[in-house]
Structure 1
């Protein structure tokens, strides 16, 4: 068994080589318990030498940073478009749906062309503008102060409206999907409204590209067991898909 100094040096060496480390692998290599490894990772994180992640540690910061919506729309644009097309299959005719804020769910609004009447509830001004003249689409815009970074409303007015309506399915974007922390976004102001939208919908579909896995935003919006679908792109790992499906979540991997 290695002493604490030797263990820490070994962990940092492995981290330098691979960019990330796994608790089970470290436990097997050093012949110590997983509990010991978790304590070691916590100590190294306290010294700003790594970031703890689900099942291990990483050099990369897992915490999401809020970016303006006009900057985010150019990040992984092709993946977002394919995710939106896959999400369309979850929309039934004559349905009421909710579309949250964010660039990935905005792509859903762009490609929504229903053959029959549908009601779309949204806090996102861009979604409303996109759909306001779309055939067979009736839009209910939630009210409140508009946040410049997201072009979306937040606050008590929007939450009050949600207390008096229902919808079939919510399509929501997130900044982080973490197996321990759950779903999160990078702005606390909008976290409460997202929580309310999740409670209002009969089912929840998360639209997120593969880079959101293993990340955390500052504001938690729900646990993984509160969602029914995750729609993502082909960059997601097989292990991640299996772990999600083991939790009862239907994972839809969009075609390129």
Structure 2
């Protein structure tokens, strides 16, 4: 196989898996470990991917860029709604449910707003509006705080409010999932607020589509082991499945085929 063809195959594998090992690439390409290492070094020098110990990942370090809600809600709507459907099965009448800010938790709010009567605690104005506009029978507690570009309320007011509460379950949206850094966010204040959410909950369920794997925000919310469950979609790569399966309490993968119509309706509601 020519170098150009190997480089294309390596980049495609990194884009699919987010993080890949040299040994796995060597088996996939049928070449030596030394050849793969040289290819990774060349691709790293070109800025196409990033060389890491024992493998390669998508380029980019710990980020602080935070896309707005309107942009994020248009990304992977089917995957997010499939994850939301899986999460909704865990909610029962009378529960105190935490929903951190995010577009996947917002998708979950769409389902819970027409579900059983619960008490919802959230730091997201968008999520609170879902329940208010739908005339849901549920009680909604919205924290105060400083608003971020992704419409999360963060800072001392939000954190103080959460420290006074107790939740049966927290559904936590995250910016990135990393084997070393854990669950991360690009906003330092949001990380502090999310840590207060985690501390208030008896059970922590992280909602993260497959593109979150290998993405690194500047601040860690929690370690992988702190999640009782992580719900992702069936696009999650094999290496991510192996690592998360070993380190989170439970890894559940949602099928995107069951949520297409619902996700389309939710996206229209966000932009309408």
TM-score by length of 2: 0.76
- Match for residue 136 of structure 2? 135
What residue ranges of structure 1 are gaps of 5+ in the alignment?
1-10, 32-36
Distance 1:222 1:88, change over 3 A: same
Q: Distance in 2 between matches of 1:45 and 1:98?
A: 41
Does the aligned pair in 1 maintain the 2:48–2:59 contact within 8 Å?
A: no
Matches of residues 1-256 of structure 1 in structure 2 within 5 Å? 15=7, 17-19=9-11, 20=14, 22-25=21-24, 29-30=32-33, 50-52=49-51, 55-58=54-57, 60-61=59-60, 65-113=65-113, 116-132=116-132, 134-147=135-148, 149-255=149-255, 256=257
Cα RMSD for the two superposed structures: 3.1
Distance 1:192 1:86, change over 3 A: same
Structure number with the higher strand fraction is 1
Offset at residue 249 of structure 1 (A):
2.5
Does the aligned pair in 2 maintain the 1:54–1:179 contact within 8 Å?
A: no
TM-score by length of 1: 0.81
Distance 1:249 1:105, change over 3 A: same
Matched residue pairs, number?
240
Distance 1:238 1:155, change over 3 A: same
**Once the two structures are superposed, what CA deviation does each residue of 1:99-151 show, in whole Å capped at 9, x if it has no partner?**
0111111001111146543100000001111112533310011111222x122
Offset at residue 63 of structure 1 (A):
5.3
Offset at residue 49 of structure 1 (A):
7.1
Offset at residue 18 of structure 1 (A):
1.3
Highest RCO, 1 vs 2 (Cα 8 Å, sep ≥ 6):
2
Q: Distance in 2 between matches of 1:57 and 1:110?
A: 37
**Once the two structures are superposed, what CA deviation does each residue of 1:163-190 show, in whole Å capped at 9, x if it has no partner?**
2110011111111111111111122231
What residue ranges of structure 2 are gaps of 5+ in the alignment?
15-19, 258-272
SS of the residue corresponding to residue 197 of structure 1 reads helix
Q: Distance in 1 between matches of 2:96 and 2:183?
A: 23
Q: Distance in 2 between matches of 1:183 and 1:193?
A: 13
Q: Provide runs of 4+ in structure 1 moved above 6 Å.
A: 44-47
